Amino acid sequence: MRDSGLSELVRLGANESAFGPSPKAVEVMAAALPHLWWYGDPESYELREALAAKHDCSIEQIVVGSGIDDLMGLAVRAFVPPGGRALTTAGSYPTFNYHVTGYGGALSFAPYRDDGTVDLDALVEIARRERPQVLYLANPDNPSGSFAARARVQAFYEALPHDTLLFLDEAYGDFVDPGDILPAHLEDRLVRTRTFSKAYGMAGARIGYAISSERNVQTFQKIRLHYGVNRNAQVGALASLADPAFHASVVRETAVAREAYYALGTELGVPTLPSLTNFVLFDCGSVARANRVMAELLKRGVWIRKPAVAPLDRYVRVSAGTAPMRAAFAQALRDVLAQVPV
Ligand SMILES: *Cc1c(COP(=O)(O)O)cnc(C)c1O
């Protein structure tokens, strides 16, 4: 907003949920607000209990953090020693990399495939050669939106060296058919993460969790900040879990938004990539044009972002919006594409 000089933006740049949090969560958080002088429960006990029921595991297999970004830091601190190595996809979600660098580890990268999907074979090959302590995989992936289904992830996991821990970031797991997600594997070399930031619409509350073996969870419990999770976020997350109808409606609305974007891309000659997330990539044909499109949209009050690394850097990334947000975006995009030559 400071850059554009506008006092309001159509927010389609951070994959937040335009559909907001559950009204029930808002209600309990508002009621809990006067208790902000209390610390939160350092164990997140009730929330972990509800999450354990949801994922059919025990509360000793769940750790709550202030978002996946926080849990990534714990995993890196616990498992990548200074001078150690981690492996990821070049251009995928970057926060993991910041932690690796910050804690003194080295990074190896596999490129995306030419079609913009994550190259699981290349990751296995590099992992076998370089023996990273941790491999980071977002599935579904951000920013590509691509997804590897259950059997593929299972085979990938089994093909990895047995001393490499797989950090499986399922930030967008809520948008995928549960039958397509890897079933619960609670092993020492697998850490999976989920968040309340996306489908639950609570990005600003900062709360997420990891599921892993009891041993790994104990390790995280030793090194995490004991009052690092916001008390209101704990209350809101618990209420969100108790409102599955709202969650289902967000997942449905998000699918409607994706379909609308696919149709818009076809109509305007900016083809889209299939996505199993709450965002869609539009192919602007070149990096220069994608940058122009993003800048021109901002001037018109529409905030989006774009991937930085090839082959996805000629795309712009647009989060799922409500119908009015989509209409504002469509109008601005039509206008901008007419002005920015291919
Ligand atoms: C949005 C996003 C996150 C951030 O999750 P928080 O719980 O808000 O920290 C993590 N991973 C991926 C792939 C994301 O897109």
pLDDT in tens, 150-161: 999 999 999 999
Distance CA 143, CA 63 (A): 26
What pTM value is reported for the model? Answer: 0.97
CB of 195 sitting under 6 A from ligand 1: yes
What separation in Å is there between the alpha carbon of 16 and the centre of ligand 1? 10
Instruction: Select from 69, 72, 167 the residue to mutate for testing ligand 1; criterion: most ligand atoms less than 8 Å from CB.
Output: 69
pLDDT tens, residue order, the chain (342 aa)? 887 788 999 999 999 999 999 999 999 999 999 999 999 999 999 999 999 999 999 999 999 999 999 999 999 999 999 999 999 999 999 999 999 999 999 999 999 999 999 999 999 999 999 999 999 999 999 999 999 999 999 999 999 999 999 999 999 999 999 999 987 778 999 999 999 999 999 999 999 999 999 999 999 999 999 999 999 999 999 999 999 999 999 999 999 999 999 999 999 999 999 999 999 999 999 999 999 999 999 999 999 999 999 999 999 999 999 999 999 999 999 999 999 888
The set of residues, in sequence order, having a beta carbon less than 8 Å from that of 47 and lying 6+ positions away, is 64, 209, 234, 237, 238, 241
Task: Work out whether the CA dihedral 256, 257, 263, 267 comes out positive or negative.
Answer: positive
Fold of 10-19+245-339: Aspartate Aminotransferase, domain 1 (3.90.1150)
CB of 67 sitting under 6 A from ligand 1: yes
CB of 278 sitting under 6 A from ligand 1: no
Instruction: Select from 89, 95, 191 the residue to mutate for testing ligand 1; criterion: most ligand atoms less than 8 Å from CB.
Output: 95
DSSP 143-206: TT-----HHHHHHHHHHS-TT-EEEEE-TTGGGS-GGGSPPP---TTEEEEEESSSTT--GGG-
Instruction: Write down the pLDDT at residue 186.
Output: 80
**CATH number of the structural domain 23-242:** 3.40.640.10
CATH 3.40.640.10 location in the chain: 23-242
CATH 3.90.1150.10 location in the chain: 10-19+245-339
Cβ-contact 302, 10 below 8 angstroms? yes
